[in-house]
A and B are shown apart, each in its own frame.
Chain A
């Protein structure tokens, strides 16, 4: 296990380094001059040059890269070009919404996928399987913003069970949580449907393995073998997909954030990008990269917890 952790950690560091370079270079080649955008079209070249110097944009590339990385690591991400406030504070404010939203959506995704996948695999080829997988197919096909609007219409506007949009902030925990329920459901439905399909096919493949036959010969029923042996063996592909879904949910919630008027990370990046607020884009994207790499590290650890062949190679 120690060796496994060590190699995974080294891979984690190397990926972070490589990703930060890619993010930095990508921002470098994006067209648009921040100083020009901030000052407007009528600014004189001298003013633009002065502002560039003030923002540190006239330094050589490698210096700016090191400066940025050092700042990122210490939480000093510079000032937003458009809002004139620290980037770190801007991102932190948005994370307070996006992280809990992602977490709730992931829990819901698992809560949808686990029973649906198990029921479908247990009744493989029968009516329950067809029904569950049919619903999953619809869940994947329906655009989530449309589903979100239906939720708002029925549960918020008609039944008044949840607010239709906006976010009151965590000073009112109950209200804040309530505001996140509908967006999380809208996010989780298609992801849960995808995960249910992955789980079902992994379970069905596992049920064809020799050790399932051995378990049946020991007296396990089909369903018993499914739960006692197949489920754990089918977890590896499910964990892989779940890790990828975290990334999709964290940054890809922008459409849902718009439907529910939520100040999330997705909207921040979108606005910053359209305003050429590249310093915000750079750090926000890097933060997403860190999150995704951290999640894949956690997924690797989870693999080893599930599979003894990884923690104790023969």
Chain B
């Protein structure tokens, strides 16, 4: 008997139908992956199961959970189920916990609500649950607050809270999207362990097919509110029937990367020599020296004209600090950074900054919502002074990134995430830079949009001879677009070399761990080779591969 069965579920918000006759089943101990692009209705489906749809949403169809019809239950009965039989964790671990409540109390909340346990008893169980998710008592006291934990640790607290009462079904909505690969691997291992040990059903919502392939026995593919394809993972990913699934797989398989180039002898475009930067930790005592943490510890690197270099490392390795220093946004304590011979520092002259532009991760937060796209794209002109032909240059930059000229008169909220990132690239291009720093620039994008943006970056580079410094925790992306790669750990560069060689034969343990943590699509090579014609590889082989992966 299935644990959860959704039949013909439709959800309408206003005049918009966000879910269209969705049917799904999950058995106890089964992992179902729900994949598809943003806005395809994955999250809406899970919120419908939880009974947490936004106000004003109308819901038709049947959702049966353990033999009960959920759509007919009162709000009180749903509250009794949520957290107890049905658990859910969300995408953004940084904001998913109450900042003013101790983590022990947040995990214990589920037990106090459903088991009516007194606080002390609930905290004792919370302790055990936190141990289970890998947050042991010696380092992670129940009295810590969320701000004292990293993103991956917070996600573990959220998981501990969701499983505290031993739910029969856990819904995980993009639980690792905001995490780096190493942390992601840890959280995924934890989830598979819980499914195995506790016999839970798990619905894993993800846009990452490799994660789905690694975790799930069955996959359901969603597009514009409909399930377009569903079946065993190896069948759906190995021999997709629906064109959308095929396209999704094609976009997930990144090209194998660029050939390494012989570095030209000429003076490098960007040179970083022995850079050091440390921060004071919050004082524990009022007097006495403050402890300091060294975020970047004697880093040197160089980047030639027209070269694409990757910088990878897990969260907290010092990438961000180094990036800020290279951009001349933050002072450094030792060493020197030069861009085309000019020293880079926070007080450098504006025109000297123009050769280096940046594209950040967040396509939603990095634009002023009250200004038109024309003004947003023209922003870098404040470095050099706005030329008289700035409007036509904005149009050229927009057309370079594949947007129509009329986009200039619109506001940023009118664009999708991928379009916004194109606008960010147009903004970087307008000052005719020689180097673009891409700081996790495609990490927030859906696979198909990501593939388009990566292709665009490749074309621009060919056409304009740009150099890229590509900072990312996504090794696949770095492999696809860079020739040379640097691996950073604990403030130092630990390994460096041609990208393909580095990832195929990593020597340093940190690089090895990073490469190992990357979830892979089974038979990715076969798919890449056939990306044009799409001959599906032998499903049996994929099955074997994916089991090997899990072992």
A residues neighboring B (CB under 8 Å): 2-3, 6, 209-211, 213-221, 224, 228-229, 232-233, 306-309, 312-314
Contact = CB atoms under 8 A, between A and B. Distances in A.
Contacts of B110: 218-219
27 contacts: A3-B286, A210-B95, A211-B97, A213-B52, A214-B98, A215-B98, A217-B90, A217-B162, A218-B109, A219-B79, A219-B83, A219-B110, A220-B79, A220-B83, A220-B113, A221-B79, A224-B113, A229-B98, A229-B101, A232-B101, A233-B99, A233-B100, A307-B99, A308-B100, A309-B99, A312-B145, A312-B148
B282 A209 contact: no
Interface in B78-137: 79-84, 87-90, 92, 95-101, 109-110, 113-114
Contacts of B462: none
A302 to B, nearest CB: 13
Nearest to B282: A313
B56 to A, nearest CB: 10
A174 B371 CA distance: 63
A309 B147 contact: yes
A313 B75 CA distance: 39
B97 A214 contact: yes
A314 B95 contact: no
B196 interface: no
B401 interface: no
Contacts of B114: 219
B117 to A, nearest CB: 13
Contacts of B82: 216-219
Contact of A218 (B76, B95, B161): B161
A308 B52 contact: no
Nearest to B150: A314
Contact of A314 (B80, B88, B147, B161): B147
Contacts of A214: 90, 96-98, 158, 161
B83 A217 contact: yes
B63 interface: no
Interface string B41-56: 0000000001010000
B286 A219 contact: no
Contacts of B109: 215, 218, 220, 228
A219 B113 CA distance: 7
Interface string B1-45: 000000000000000000000000000000000000000000000
B409 to A, nearest CB: 31
Contact of B286 (A2, A213, A229, A306): A2
B100 A306 contact: yes
A216 B80 CA distance: 11
A232 B99 CA distance: 10
B96 to A, nearest CB: 5
A228 B75 CA distance: 18
Contacts of B96: 210-211, 213-214
A213 B76 contact: no
A218 B162 CA distance: 7
B283 A217 contact: no
A124 to B, nearest CB: 9
A213 B173 CA distance: 12
A216 B52 contact: yes
Interface in B284-299: 286
B76 A221 contact: yes
Nearest to A5: B286
B145 A309 contact: yes
Contacts of A224: 79, 113
A314 B148 contact: yes
A308 B98 contact: no
A275 to B, nearest CB: 49
A312 B96 CA distance: 20
Given A217-B52, A220-B79, A307 B98 contact: no
Interface string B447-471: 0000000000000000000000000
A217 B95 contact: no
A215 B97 CA distance: 8
B233 to A, nearest CB: 26
Nearest to A209: B95
Interface string B155-178: 000100110000000000000000
A224 to B, nearest CB: 8
Given A214-B161, A218-B113, A233 B98 contact: yes
A313 B99 CA distance: 12
Nearest to A230: B98
Contacts of A228: 109
B282 A219 contact: no
A232 to B, nearest CB: 5
A211 to B, nearest CB: 4
Contacts of B286: 2-3, 6
A211 B113 contact: no
Given A214-B96, A232-B100, 19 more contacts: A3-B283, A211-B95, A211-B99, A214-B97, A214-B161, A215-B109, A218-B161, A218-B162, A219-B79, A220-B79, A220-B113, A228-B109, A229-B98, A233-B98, A306-B100, A308-B99, A309-B99, A309-B145, A309-B147
A269 to B, nearest CB: 40
